[in-house]
Structures are given as C-alpha cells and as structure tokens.
Amino acid sequence: MRNIIIKTTYCTILIIALLFTLSRQTYAVTYEEIQENPLSLSLNLKYAKEQENLGNVKNAMVTIERLLLLYPNDIDLNIYYLDLLLDLNSISKASEVVNQLLTNENSNQALLDELGLIAKELGLQKKKPSPFSLTLRTTLSITDVDNVNSISRSKTGFIGNKGPDPLKTSNGQDYIFKDKLYLGKISALASYDLNEQNFFTTEIGFDKQKQDDDINKIYDLKSATVSHVFYKPRYSLSSYFSWSKTDNPGTGSHTADSIGRTGGLSATYNINEQLSANVGVSARLTDYIVDDDHLAVNDNDVRNRNVFIGSSFLLTNTDTIGVNLSYNYQNALINDNARTLHNGMKGISYLLSYNKFLPFYQNLTVNYGKTLNDYMAPDPLIHSEKKRKDIIDDYSIGISGPIPFTNFSYSLSFDYSKSKSRIVNYIVNHEDINFSLRREFSLF
C-alpha cells in the first residue's frame, strides 16, 4: 500500500512538472509584444534567448544590438552579444566587442582574463590606436525655403527716399518666395592626436548647391578648415582657421564670386560637474571678386568681428540648457578703400537653448534668439537722415542622430525668423525646413 501511494505521488509530481514545463513552453514572447514594449530589458532579453533557442541567432543578435543602443555600458549585454557573434563566426565585430570590454572600467579581473583568452584565440593583440585617422564624409541635404530672397511680404522696398516701391529682379521679373535648395558635399577629414591633450583636425570639402526656381541656379563652394583643441579635465581651448571660395556662374550685382577667411579662438571652463562657462572671439573677412560680369559689386571687402560669452547647465543626465550673449561688429569697404558706414553695423544678440539626449543616441535641440542691429550711418537709398535699426527673432527646433542599424546619420530642422526694421517699416519672415543625410567612410 505504501509503495502504491509513493508511486502515485511520484506520478502526480511528474505530471505537474510536465504540465508546468509545457505551460512555460507554450508561452513565447511575440514580435508584437516587443513592438509594444521596445524599452523593456527583461522582455527583450527573453525574446532574444527564445530566438536563439529556436536557431534564429540573427534575430537574437538584432534584438541585443537594439538593447545596446539603450544600455551601451551593460557588461552582461555585451558578453551575450559577444557570444552570439562568436556563434556566427563574425570575427571582425567580435574583435570590436572584445576591445571595448577590455577598456571598460566595469570589467572585473576574471572577465579580463577570459577576454584575454578569447582575444588570443581570435589572433587579436591589444594594439595602441593610431594617432592618425582619415575619414571620407558625404552629405546630401534638401531645404524648403520660404522667402528665399529676403523680400518683405508686401514685395516692396525703399528707393531714393521715395518710400515703398515694388521690387523687381535685374531682369524686371517678380522675386520668387518659395524655393528648394539642394546641396551635395564631399569632404576628407583628417585628425591627429599629438598626445592626450592636443588634437588637430583638418577638413577639405567641395559643395555644390542648386536652386530650383530662382535666378541663382547653381554655385560651387570649396572650403578648407584647420582646428586645434587643447583639452584638460577642468578646461579646454579651441582654435580654428577656415578658407572658402564660392564660384557663382550668374551675373549681376548679387551673384559675384567671393573668397572668405575666418578664424576664431574659444575657451571652456568646467565650474563643476553640471555648470560650465565659455568665452570666445572670431573674425571673418570676405572679398567679392570684381570682374567683367560683376562690375556692379560695391562691397568687395566685408569684415566681421564677434565676441561671445555663454554658459551651459546640466539639468539631468539627458537635459542641458544654455545661454549665450554675443556682440558683432561689421564694416564694409568699397573699391577705393573708403568706408561705407551705412553698410556697417553693430549688433548684440542672445541665444537660449535646450538640448535633450533621446534613446538610440538621438538628440533634440530647441533654440530661441534675439538680435538688435544698429547701422552706423543713414543709407541714402532708404533714408537720408535716419539710421536703420533691425530687430530679429529666431526660432528653431531640430532632431539629429544616427539611423539605427545603418551607417548613416541624419538631421531634420525647422527654422523661423522674423525681422522688423524701424526705418524701412516692413517685416521680413523666413521659414526653412532642412533634411540632411550623412555617411562617413573610415579610410585609415
């Protein structure tokens, strides 16, 4: 009797265990659940392990890659990812993960020893990274522009103190408001790390921009920039110099070729872990090339100088606010080197910014700025006695970052500005929507 009871009890336990196992096997995480809870670590891990057990290692790997975008420093996730890569015999990616874990401060000694064995099996040696790198960068962008020619909504201007007068192009046509700008750019970016504190960067690029409808159809821009950063944990110093040449095939007073040179110096000081301050100066010189096609160009030498001071505050690990105050001074010279003060101006502006880091390394930016420009002398074409003053409000919002699971990055922005002149007495509005796509190729 006792044996019968024991056997019956044992069979009951087996049946309960079997039913429990079957109930667990019948429940599997579906792809729809993943879509509903893309940020759930436990749910995504369960789904990845189930896919691996079913033999769908690639599906598991894609899931882990997505989790690593959210939790890049999670040691367990990186180890699991490395295990999947080794199962797929993906030596190149496995090598990258091994090197990342070897340099991760959260890796314990036991893990480091195991990684050393894996690196040895893969034929890897921890090499000192090269101080020199060369990258090819390609950019494509399209901008939808409202008021491409900066014309007042009334399409009027001031001519010789006569008051408002209909504005026409040099061909006697009406100015176009809406237009589309297409930009293609290719550049080579070389960087050199002299030591842990000094970094040098050089970029040489070529741009081609096309407008759909306006009189300025296509122009080319060649540019070169050299920059240097001196970095310390408490502060950093940055300097740069750039050169650019614009080739414009059009004719008339607003389509001249130009050469620009810009240089600047800035310093950033980290007051504490949350608050930092920065200050800087810059100068720009633009020469307009006067030739047989551009005899009407007057301002063949324009000089800008700028001084700014700003600060940023880290609200949370993902939220930053900033404020910037700047002073700008511009003067222009005509062909005989006599100053044309009515083209020169002094301006003061401030900029408020908010920046938020989003999941998947996305970045959201919101800006508001206000500028007051005070011209140095009356312009005879506007008013013979009163100086012109402009008040400009600028608003912008944008999002940018890498496109997940690709080698591309993007940026999408909307900009709106409103300019009001106290003397000209009309309002000029601008609205721009820009989308850019970028791809970088590491050459060295």
Looking at 88, 121, 154, the residue that finishes a domain is 121
How confident is the model over 312-323, as pLDDT tens digits?
999 988 899 999
- Of 74, 94, 121, which residue sits at a domain end? 121
CATH of the domain at 318: 2.40.160.40
pLDDT reported for residue 424: 60
Same domain (yes/no): 86, 194:
no
Q: Domain of 70?
A: 2-121
Same domain for 65 and 157, yes or no, is: no
- Mean pLDDT over 406-423 rounds to 87
Average pLDDT over residues 182-203: 86
pLDDT at 423 over 90: no
Residue 145 and residue 63 share a domain: no
Quote the pLDDT of residue 15. Answer: 39
Q: Are residues 71 and 183 in the same domain?
A: no
pTM of this prediction? 0.64
Shared-domain flag, residues 229 and 177: yes
Domain membership flag for residue 196? yes
Q: What is the CATH number of the domain that holds 54?
A: 1.25.40.10
From the list 133, 116, 137, 113, the residue with the least C-alpha distance to 125 is: 116
Please tell me whether residues 49 and 149 are part of one structural domain: no
Taking 70 as the threshold, does the pLDDT of residue 208 lie above it?
Answer: yes
Per the model's pLDDT, the better-predicted residue between 106 and 294 turns out to be 106
Where a domain ends, among 121, 143, 167?
121
Number of separate domains in the chain: 2
Q: pLDDT for 243-301, tens place per residue?
A: 998 877 654 445 567 888 999 999 999 998 889 999 999 999 887 776 655 554 445 56
Q: Residue 96 — pLDDT band, cuts 50, 70, 90?
A: confident
- One domain for residues 321 and 174: yes
- pLDDT per residue as tens digits for the range 34-53: 666 666 777 777 877 877 77
Residue 128 resides in a domain:
no
> How far lies 65's CA from each of 48, 83, 118, 233, 422, in Å?
10, 13, 21, 31, 57
Percent of the chain exceeding pLDDT 90 equals: 24
What confidence tier does 16 reach under pLDDT thresholds 50, 70, 90?
A: very low
Q: What per-residue confidence (pLDDT) applies to 13?
A: 41
